[in-house]
C-alpha cells in the first residue's frame, strides 16, 4: 500500500495489507509481464528491474519470474492485460490514484464503482486528481546502522532530490528515472535500502480523524484487495495511534 508517504506509518499499513493478500504473487507477476513488454533485459528496462525486485522481495521463485518475463516478451503465451488509471475522490476531501491491470475493462469498472459507493468514494473526472501527485522514487533506510550525514551527502551527490527523517527511517526522494542508479551508488557505499519504490506521491496531505479516517482506511484496503488493482496512492494522513489501531483490527 502506498497510500501516503509517511513511511513510519506505511510499515503498519503494509503489514495489514500483506497479511490479507493471498493473491500477492499474481499481482507481482502481472506487473513483471507488463513491464517485460518494454524489453526483457532489466538492465535496460527500469520498470522491469523494479518489478523483478518486488517479486523477489515477495519470495516469488526465480523460475516463476522468468516465465512471466517470457510471457511479456512474447516467448510464452499470456493473457492480454490493459493498463488503466482511475482517479478517485475519497472521504474527507481526499484523493486517490489507482493503477489497474485488467483483462476485462467493463467488469473491473463496474466492480470498482460498487466498491467506491459502499466506501463513500467516487470516480473523478480525468485530470481532476492526478495533478495532485507526481511520480517519484523512494528509497527507505532504517536508521539503525546508517549515519544520517553520510547518507545525505552520498544521496545528494548521486543526484537525489531530498533526504528526510520520518519516524525511525530515512527517506531518500529521487526522480523516477534516477532511482535505480542512485540506489546502486548508495549500495556500493554500504548503504542498502530496506525498501525501494517508484510511485505516484502526493504533494500535500489531508489530515483525517474519526469516521473519515476509518472510511478512508477501509476504502484503500478494499481497493488493494481487488484482483485487478496493482497500486493505490492517496493523499491522506492519519495519526500514528489510529493507524496502529486500524491495522490491528484489519
pLDDT at 22 over 70: no
Is 17 domain-assigned? no
pLDDT at 16 over 50: no
**Beta carbons of 84 and 208 less than 8 angstroms apart:** no
Number of domains in the chain: 1
CA angle (98 as vertex; 92, 103 as ends), nearest 5: 145
Residue-wise pLDDT tens digits, 94-142? 999 999 999 999 999 999 999 999 888 999 999 999 999 999 999 999 9
The predicted pLDDT at position 241 comes to 84
pLDDT band with cut points at 50, 70 and 90 for residue 79: confident
Is 46 domain-assigned? no
CATH number at residue 106: 3.30.70.980
Is 90 domain-assigned? yes
**d(C-alpha 229, C-alpha 171), whole Å:** 26
pTM over 0.85: no
Is 106 domain-assigned? yes
Q: Which long-range contacts (CB under 8 A, 24 or more apart) does 32-35 make?
A: 32/65, 32/68, 32/69, 32/72, 33/68, 33/69, 33/71, 33/72, 33/78, 33/81, 34/72, 34/81, 34/83, 34/101, 35/72
Is 12 domain-assigned? no
Is 89 domain-assigned? yes
CB proximity list for 207: less than 8 A, separation 6 or greater: 236, 237, 238
Instruction: Count the residues in the chain.
Output: 250
**d(C-alpha 55, C-alpha 47), whole Å:** 12
Is 237 domain-assigned? yes
H or E element, residue 101: strand 94-102
Is 161 domain-assigned? no
**Domain range spanning residue 122?**
82-131+206-249
Amino acid at each position: 500500500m502506498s497510500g501516503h508517504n509517511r513511511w513510519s506509518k506505511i510499515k503498519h499499513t503494509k503489514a495489514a495489507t500483506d497479511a490479507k493478500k493471498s493473491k500477492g504473487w499474481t499481482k507481482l507477476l502481472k506487473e513483471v509481464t507488463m513491464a517485460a513488454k518494454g524489453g526483457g533485459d532489466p538492465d535496460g528496462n527500469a520498470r522491469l528491474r523494479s518489478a523483478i525486485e518486488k517479486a523477489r522481495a515477495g519470495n516469488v521463485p526465480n523460475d516463476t519470474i522468468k516465465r512471466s518475463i517470457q510471457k511479456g516478451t512474447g516467448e510464452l503465451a499470456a493473457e492480454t492485460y490493459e493498463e488503466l488509471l482511475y482517479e478517485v475522490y475519497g472521504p474527507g476531501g481526499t484523493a486517490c490514484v489507482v493503477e489497474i491491470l485488467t483483462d476485462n475493462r467493463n467488469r473491473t469498472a463496474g466492480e470498482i464503482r460498487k466498491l467506491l459507493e459502499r466506501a463513500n468514494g467516487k470516480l473523478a473526472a480525468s485530470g481532476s486528481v492526478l495533478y495532485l501527485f507526481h511520480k517519484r522514487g523512494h528509497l527507505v533506510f532504517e536508521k539503525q546502522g546508517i549515519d544520517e550525514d553520510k547518507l545525505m551527502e552520498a544521496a545528494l551527490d548521486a543526484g537525489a532530490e531530498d533526504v528526510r527523517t520520518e519516524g525511525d527511517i530515512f527517506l531518500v526522494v529521487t526522480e523516477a528515472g534516477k532511482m535505480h542508479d542512485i540506489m546502486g551508488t548508495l549500495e556500493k557505499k554500504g548503504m542498502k535500502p530496506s525498501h525501494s519504490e517508484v510511485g505516484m506521491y502526493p504533494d500535500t496531505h489531508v489530515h483525517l480523524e474519526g469516521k473519515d479516517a476509518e472510511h478512508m482506511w477501509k476504502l484503500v484496503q478494499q481497493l488493494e484487495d481487488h484482483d485487478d488493482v496493482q497500486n493505490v496512492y492517496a493523499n491522506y494522513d492519519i495519526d500514528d495511534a489510529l493507524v496502529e489501531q486500524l491495522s490491528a483490527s484489519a
